[in-house]
Amino acid sequence: MKSLRSLLWLLLFFSGLTGVVFPCLYLYTASQLPQLESEYDLEKLLRLSIEGERRSVRAGRADDLGRSYDWPKPEFARLPHDLIALYISEMGCPNFFRTPREDGLSWAWREFAGMFGADPPGDGSCERYLALRLASAIGIQGDLQLAVASNKIHAFMQKDELVAYDFGSMWFEQGVIGVEDAAWELYRKKLSDLTLAELAEFTLALPIHGYYGELKTCKNASIIKKNRNVILDRLGAQGLVAPATIATAQQARVGGLGFPSAGCVARARTGPEPRPAGGRQKVAMTEMSSNQAPLMCEPSWKSAQ
């Protein structure tokens, strides 16, 4: 009985200690971060970083003359609906916009478990993934710092805003930031002008797959087409796009500047080969299976530059 009483006292002591230590640690870490109390704060930090990099990298490049360095505020309504459907499908959250935003105790538990490598089920995992990517995009590093920053970002952003800001701040290579930049680099088109087939190929370039360099330098055209069609199959199976539309897109040739109809001829470029998006370790593209989940890369592109 005495040993049981001692054990109970120890449990109470450590519970109380945890209740004091964790809040204090959170508040201290939050005080060391840039101000992140509103969407305006996040927008300001991203604009400063992205516009600065664009100016330093793109100035004087002949193929970028006339292009603006400005980073406009991301707007969900301006994104192609098919690209959004492809992204949430490949993240593994096809019902992302059909389920309520995670909040309260369930979100707090997800953040706590995530610090120890656990990933509770539910679409909240994609909310956390997006919030972590945004925290990394403003230069936050370290597991605890990223956890605190992502929690602060999630507190003032809705699901559509998380997706829009992630698309707007994705890093593909130096000076190429955001999906509009990447679409121009790969297709010399506006993002809104890409077909469903091109958007499915473009999805392979996003950080969840990390094959931007493969598309940019014209590698493995046949595998790109097969993987594009696997992505389209998954999209159709989840009911996000009509089957007839999927079938038409799967018949299209591989697009992009590197893949003209006459065959795969990479366009001339100067400088080093593009680094894979998301800071992912560069590997050759391999064929995907319909039940293979994409690699949700750690949001560490800043440290990988």
pLDDT in tens, 249-263: 999 888 755 454 333
Q: Is the model more confident about 237 or about 261?
A: 237
DSSP-based three-state secondary structure for 185: helix
Q: What is the pLDDT of residue 118?
A: 84
Q: How distant, in Å, are the alpha carbons of 118, 146, 285 from that of 219?
A: 36, 34, 8
- Judge whether 134 and 153 are in contact, CB under 8 Å: yes
Residue 165 pLDDT class (50, 70, 90 cuts): very high
Q: What is the fold, at CATH topology level, of the domain defined by 176-284?
A: Penicillin binding protein transpeptidase fold (1.10.3810)
Residue 26 pLDDT class (50, 70, 90 cuts): low
Asked which of 76-80, 144-148, 277-281 is least confident by mean pLDDT, the reply is 277-281
Q: What is the pLDDT of residue 101?
A: 95
Q: What is the pLDDT of residue 116?
A: 80
Which residue type occupies 67?
A: R
Query: What average pLDDT does this structure show over 18-35?
Result: 70
**Which residues have C-beta within 8 Å of that of residue 205, sequence separation ≥ 6?**
172, 182, 186, 211, 212, 214, 215, 216, 277
Q: What is the pLDDT of residue 188?
A: 87
Q: Which residues pair with 173 in a beta bridge?
A: 176
CA 47 to chain centre: 17
Q: Is the model more confident about 21 or about 39?
A: 39
103-116 pLDDT per residue, tens: 999 998 898 888 78
Tell whether pTM > 0.85.
no
Q: What is the pLDDT of residue 179?
A: 97
Q: What is the pLDDT of residue 275?
A: 43
Q: Which two tokens stand for residue 278?
A: 């998301």
